């Protein structure tokens, strides 16, 4: 799957359903592509030994649904039920949807759940890994740091947290709302192994996932520097695309821009 294919689906579905959170989904598109394009080991969505993934910033669900669809875990009919009635595809992921390992939507809960999943794998002597994708503003939540402390204390080296560091949150820029710089330094101070990568470089992201295997005894955080609304010029770094759906003209332009991007990355 390519990030371009994912972005097209994100635009199509958010336009069809007339819903927002587009900028957030575009921010994590390349991360999701790197995970579902090979970073995650998923022989099947019910395979007990599959890697687990939690989209802790659940409002970017459309990127996840698009990836599940491109992997063949979600039919076109299911995808087209996004934000309809009697659908499992709401704005935030529900575990009842095959392919979604855990519910999310309430920020600050995903890393604890991922830590439990990682501890469970260790207790079962399983090589499976657990990935959690958090937003940078999600790290405002104190519970994130409970999980950060616990994971380092338990040496959960099979746990990989990815921070979507786009510098934006619902009402402003993170540096103005609740400053979290230096993000990597905060995690290393808590005993994590940290890497900083371009969050739109899928090859670099995949390399980072592999590098985690060479660092034992610590949980891993990948600080993924991203651009909110990445790939659509008029959405990039603009708060309003947390919320707004697209007009017809905006959709046409956005789709044209995404289609004009090269296939890789």
Q: Which residues bind another protein (CB under 8 A)?
A: 48, 52, 95, 101-103, 105-106, 108-109, 111-121, 123-124, 130, 142-143, 146-147, 149-150, 153
Cβ closest to another protein, residue 3 vs residue 108: 108
Q: What minimum distance in Å lies between the beta carbon of 143 and another protein?
A: 4
For residue 248, count other CB atoms closer than 10 A to its CB. Answer: 8
Q: How far is CA 7 from CA 18, 169, 173, in A?
A: 16, 21, 23
Dihedral sign (CA 145, 222, 73, 115) = negative
DSSP conformation letters of 83-131: TSSS-S--SS--TTSTT--S---STT-HHHHHHHHHHHHHHTT----EE
Q: What minimum distance in Å lies between the beta carbon of 181 and another protein?
A: 24
Contact status, residue 60 vs residue 28, Cβ threshold 8 Å = yes
Q: What minimum distance in Å lies between the beta carbon of 117 and another protein?
A: 4
User: What phi, psi does 164 have (nearest 5°)?
Assistant: -80, 90
Q: What minimum distance in Å lies between the beta carbon of 120 and another protein?
A: 3
Q: What minimum distance in Å lies between the beta carbon of 155 and another protein?
A: 13
Bridge partners, residue 165, by sequence: 225
Q: How far is CA 28 from CA 55, 220, 222, in A?
A: 10, 18, 13
Q: How far is CA 199 from CA 29, 124, 134, in A?
A: 9, 32, 13
Using CA atoms, how far apart are residues 236 and 230, in angstroms rounded to an integer?
A: 6
Cβ closest to another protein, residue 119 vs residue 239: 119
Is the bond preceding 182 in cis, omega lying within 30 degrees of 0? yes
Q: What minimum distance in Å lies between the beta carbon of 46 and another protein?
A: 12
Q: What minimum distance in Å lies between the beta carbon of 231 and another protein?
A: 31
Cβ closest to another protein, residue 111 vs residue 224: 111
The structure tokens listed for 146 are 């409970």
Cβ closest to another protein, residue 153 vs residue 240: 153
């Amino acid at each position: 799957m390519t990030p371009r294919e994912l972005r097209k689906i994100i635009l199509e579905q958010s336009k069809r359903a007339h819903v927002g959170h587009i900028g957030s989904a575009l921010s994590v598109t390349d991360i999701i592509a790197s995970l579902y394009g090979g970073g995650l080991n998923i022989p099947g969505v019910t395979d007990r030994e599959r890697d687990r993934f939690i989209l802790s910033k659940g409002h970017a669900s459309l990127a996840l649904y698009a990836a599940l669809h491109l992997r063949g875990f979600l039919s076109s009919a299911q995808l087209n039920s996004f934000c309809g009635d009697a659908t499992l595809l709401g704005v935030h992921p529900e575990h009842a949807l095959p392919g979604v390992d855990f519910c999310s939507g309430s920020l600050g809960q995903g890393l604890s759940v991922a830590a439990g999943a990682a501890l469970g794998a260790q207790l079962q002597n399983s090589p499976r890994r657990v990935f959690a994708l958090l937003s940078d503003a999600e790290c405002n939540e104190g519970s994130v740091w409970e999980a950060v402390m616990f994971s380092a204390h338990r040496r959960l080296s099979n746990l990989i947290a990815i921070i979507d560091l786009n510098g934006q949150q619902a009402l402003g820029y993170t540096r103005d709302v609740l400053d979290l710089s230096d993000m990597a330094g905060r995690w290393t101070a808590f005993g994590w192994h940290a890497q900083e990568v371009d969050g739109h470089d899928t090859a670099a992201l995949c390399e980072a996932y592999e590098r985690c295997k060479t660092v034992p005894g610590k949980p891993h955080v990948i600080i993924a520097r991203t651009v909110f609304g990445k790939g659509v010029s008029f959405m990039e770094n603009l708060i309003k695309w947390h919320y707004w759906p697209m007009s017809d003209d905006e959709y046409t332009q956005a789709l044209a821009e995404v289609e004009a991007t090269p296939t890789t990355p």
